[in-house]
A and B are shown apart, each in its own frame.
Chain A
Amino acid sequence: QQQVKQSPQSLIVQKGGISIINCAYENTAFDYFPWYQQFPGKGPALLIAIRPDVSEKKEGRFTISFNKSAKQFSLHIMDSQPGDSATYFCAAPLFNKFYFGSGTKLNVKP
């Protein structure tokens, strides 16, 4: 059973546009929701994370929106840039085991 479901699988956005990636989870025991960014040939790196006691967290152009009742959280990339082109993974840990979404490949067109 997939603990964290991510969509879409791929996304094409024009430069300056907003990129939105969604994740849904079932296990209400999750209490930490990070997003990881992975460039080709590299390992994933933490981008931004949120705890469920807040509904939104913003860091620069990146925002996580969290909906506890719907058990969903999403990543918004404002003013998307070609340099944001990468694969993005949502995740949630439980007892030290991090469950990752299937990934979203973002392509920002210049």
Chain B
Amino acid sequence: NAGVMQNPRHLVRRRGQEARLRCSPMKGHSHVYWYRQLPEEGLKFMVYLQKENIIDESGMPKERFSAEFPKEGPSILRIQQVVRGDSAAYFCASSPFHGQGHGELFFGEGSRLTVL
């Protein structure tokens, strides 16, 4: 059973370009989370999605950032018009559980975005 797959692992973009990060959850998992991690810092919640629905996007900047988890295919985190401050590691996690969050989060290896 493959784990959470993220790609690309490394992405370099120039200021103003768009970044698209993809996440395929573990088989059977219908809940996807995106977290951002700055160097030497913790994990900052961005968005929680279920298939075709955004459940909680309270951690995501209102502008330039968007996320989706379509019925078919991976979840996508999209960053438009990237700025240097967007440089970070973006982690996707999936979970089979719902309710009070008693389950385990399974993380991917992350996508490291560098904005020049």
Question: CB within 8 Å of B: which residues of A?
Answer: 6, 31-32, 34, 36, 41-46, 49, 89, 93-103, 105
Tell me which of B42, B56, B93, B97 contacts A103 (CB under 8 A): B42
Tell me which of B105, B106, B109 contacts A42 (CB under 8 A): B109
Residues of chain A within 8 A (CB-CB) of B105 are: 34, 36, 44, 46, 98
Name 23 A/B residue pairs within 8 A (Cβ), A-sorted: A32-B102, A41-B109, A42-B109, A43-B93, A43-B108, A89-B43, A93-B100, A93-B101, A94-B101, A95-B56, A95-B100, A95-B101, A96-B31, A96-B56, A96-B99, A97-B56, A98-B93, A99-B45, A100-B35, A100-B44, A102-B42, A103-B42, A103-B43
Q: Which residue of A lies closest to B31 (CB)?
A: A96
- The answer to whether the Cβ of B110 comes within 8 Å of any Cβ in the partner chain is yes
Residues of chain A within 8 A (CB-CB) of B33 are: 98
- The answer to whether the Cβ of B63 comes within 8 Å of any Cβ in the partner chain is no
**Total CB contacts across the A-B interface at under 8 A:** 71
Contact B48 A89 (CB under 8 A): no
Contact B91 A44 (CB under 8 A): yes
From B42, B98, B100, B102, name the one whose CB has the most chain A CB atoms within 10 angstroms. Answer: B42
Bound form: Cα–Cα A105–B55 in Å: 32
Bound form: Cα–Cα A18–B22 in Å: 39
Bound form: Cα–Cα A105–B102 in Å: 26
- Known: A31-B100, A32-B101, A44-B91. Is A96-B48 also a contact (CB below 8 A)? yes
Bound form: Cα–Cα A52–B97 in Å: 19
Residues of chain A within 8 A (CB-CB) of B93 are: 43, 98
Contact A102 B107 (CB under 8 A): no
Q: Which residue of B lies closest to A42 (CB)?
A: B109
